[in-house]
Copies of this chain bind each other. A is one copy, B any other.
Amino acid sequence: MAEIMPDSAIRPRKEFGKTIAADITHRLREEIIACGLTPGEPLRFDVLRERFGVSFTTLREALTALAAEGLVDAQEQRGFRVAPVSRQDLVEVTDARVLIEVELIRRAIERGDDDWEIAVISTLHRLKRIEQRDPQHPLRDPEWKIAHRQFHQALVSACGSATLLAIRAELFDRAERYRHLSANFRPRPRDKAGEHQAIMQAAISRNPDLAVQLIETHIRSTADNVATYAGHLLDAE
């Protein structure tokens, strides 16, 4: 009973954005990234309308925006569906991330000022504190996810290019969905805390070559993990 009750009854209309459409976009994005909606699953208006308590039009706007981000697949005249996953797509996202993130970390190390250093250090600090709380399943902890995202965001924030940062953010979201996909099957997270610490130190000590190498390894090994433990989900489509 309570599950079927529309959100509008228990939730304020606008949480994240100033418009309902922006709000729904945000909530749908989070849900797709967290694999609360299965990759490839059709996104029917009736269902979503009931769920979020908004109109056709507003939903359409949100879905259109997410389609542009690559999290939703728009099939003209045949509706929308959650973007499918595949080995090929995982490889593409991983390669694109490495290409861009490597460049951005170089620029950030070159240009970063005191504020940047402080942001990197403090976001890592918060991430570590949250990790102590529940070292088992970090991806299930919304706060860990936010802190993790903010640490990686802080690392490259001083790169000087809003354009590349926006592209990076989209790719990060798409990669995070794959991490969630494999989270249930992964035996135990590897030593991420140590990796983050090493990346932070390479960045703060202005060692671009080391930072780049650590970041690339970080991204690729995460993707390898996904391919290993969620392989059956990637081939099924």
Contacts and interface: CB of A to CB of B under 8 A. Distances in A.
Chain A binding site: helix, strand, loop or mixed by DSSP? helix
Contacts of A22: 76
A200 B230 CA distance: 41
Interface in A62-81: 64-65, 67-70, 76-77
Contact of A64 (B65, B100, B167): B65
Contact of A57 (B57, B77, B89, B162): B57
A5 interface: no
A24 B237 CA distance: 32
B19 A163 contact: no
Nearest to A19: B76
Contact of A96 (B17, B65, B164): B164
- In this complex, the member of A17, A76, A89, A161 whose beta carbon has the largest number of chain B beta carbons within 10 angstroms is A161
A233 to B, nearest CB: 19
Given A60-B57, A64-B61, A99-B99, A164 B76 contact: no
A163 B76 contact: no
B163 A18 contact: no
B64 A96 contact: no
B18 A89 contact: no
Contacts of A95: 161, 164
Contacts of A7: none
A103 interface: yes
A34 interface: no
A92 interface: yes
A37 to B, nearest CB: 20
B61 A92 contact: no
Interface in A185-221: none
A108 interface: no
Given A22-B76, A76-B17, A76-B18, A92 B57 contact: no
A33 interface: no
A93 interface: yes
Closest 3 CB pairs of A and B: A68-B68, A18-B76, A92-B163
